[in-house]
Amino acid sequence: MKRFDCLRALAEVANEALIVSSAGAMTLEWNYLRPGDGNFRVRTLGLCSSIALGMALGLPDRKVIALDGDGSLLMNLSSLATIARMRPKNLIHIVFDNEVYEASGSKKTATGAGTDLVSVALAAGIKNALWANALDDFAKAVAVALNAHELCFIGAKVSTERTEVPPYPIDEVENKYRFIRHVEKTAGIEILKRHLPASYD
C-alpha cells in the first residue's frame, strides 16, 4: 500500500478536519493533496500525537486528525496512554508505518523488528484501534472514524515509496498564524486578542 494513495483517499473525505502531521515527506504529500491553512506541520519528532491531542481537547466540536509516523510515535509512546486517558471523541490518530526512519536516512525502526503499534494502542487503552493493510480497508476505516463520535486509532502499513511533490511552502511561524486565523474564521472564535495600547505605555 502506498502512503500517497491513502492520503488521497483521506483528502477526499477529510472536509473541515484540522490536520496535524509529522514532518517529512508525508506532510509534503498531504499538503499537495489538500493544501490549506487547516494543516499544521509538526517539527519535533514524536510530538504530532500530543499536539493533536491538545487541539482535540481545546476544540471538542471539531474533528482533528493526526498523521503520524512509526518513528515519531515510537519516540512518544506514552502519548498513547495520555490519549487513552483523556479519550477525546473528536480525535483520529492515523499512523503510517513504513518501518523506517524515512526522513532520517531510512534506518529500520522497531516496528520493522516486530513492534505492533496497534497492539500498543489497544494495550494503552484505546479501544478503537485497528490495522488497515489495503487501500479499501483504509478508506473504510477513515469513513467509519469520521462518522464515529469516538477516539479512533488507525495503523496503515505502507511502502517506503515517496511521491515527488513540491516543498512545504511556508515556515513554522507563518504556519502558526495561518492555522490560528483559519481556526478563528471557521470556528467563529477570537484567539489572537489585541492588547496593544493605542500608544506606547
Partner 1 sequence: MNSAEAAKTIVDGLKRAGINFVATLPDINLADLLREVEEDRDFIHVPVCREEEGIGICAGAYLVGKKCAAIMQNGGFFNSTNAIVSTSLQYQIPLLLLIYYAGDIGDRTFSTTGSMTEPVLQALGVRYYVMRDTGGAPELIKRAEILADDSKRPVALLLTKEVLGRRPSLQLS
Q: Give the count of beta carbons closer than 10 Å to the beta carbon of residue 7.
A: 28
* Residue 190 falls in which region: left (phi positive, over 0), alpha (psi -120 to 50) or beta: beta
The stretch near partner 1 (CB under 8 A) out of 45-53, 111-119, 145-153, 158-166 is 45-53
**CA triple 86-150-22, angle to 5 deg:** 70
Of these, 21, 27, 50, 72, which contacts partner 1 (CB under 8 A)? 50
Of these, 15, 16, 44, 89, which contacts partner 1 (CB under 8 A)? 44
Asked if 102 and 69 touch (Cβ cutoff 8 Å), the reply is yes
Size of interface with partner 1, in residues (CB under 8 A): 41
Cell of 29: 504529500
- When asked if residue 86 is in the footprint of partner 1 (CB under 8 A), the reply is yes
Q: Are strands 107-108 and 100-101 parallel, antiparallel or unpaired?
A: antiparallel
Q: Which is nearer to partner 1, 89 or 176 (CB)?
A: 176
Separation of alpha carbons 84 and 151, rounded Å: 8
Q: How far is the CB of 117 from partner 1 (least distance, A)?
A: 17
- When asked if residue 20 is in the footprint of partner 1 (CB under 8 A), the reply is yes
- When asked if residue 151 is in the footprint of partner 1 (CB under 8 A), the reply is no
Q: For binding to partner 1 (CB under 8 A), which residues are involved?
A: 18, 20, 40, 42-44, 46-59, 62, 76, 78-79, 81-82, 85-86, 172-173, 175-176, 179-180, 183-184, 187, 189-191, 195
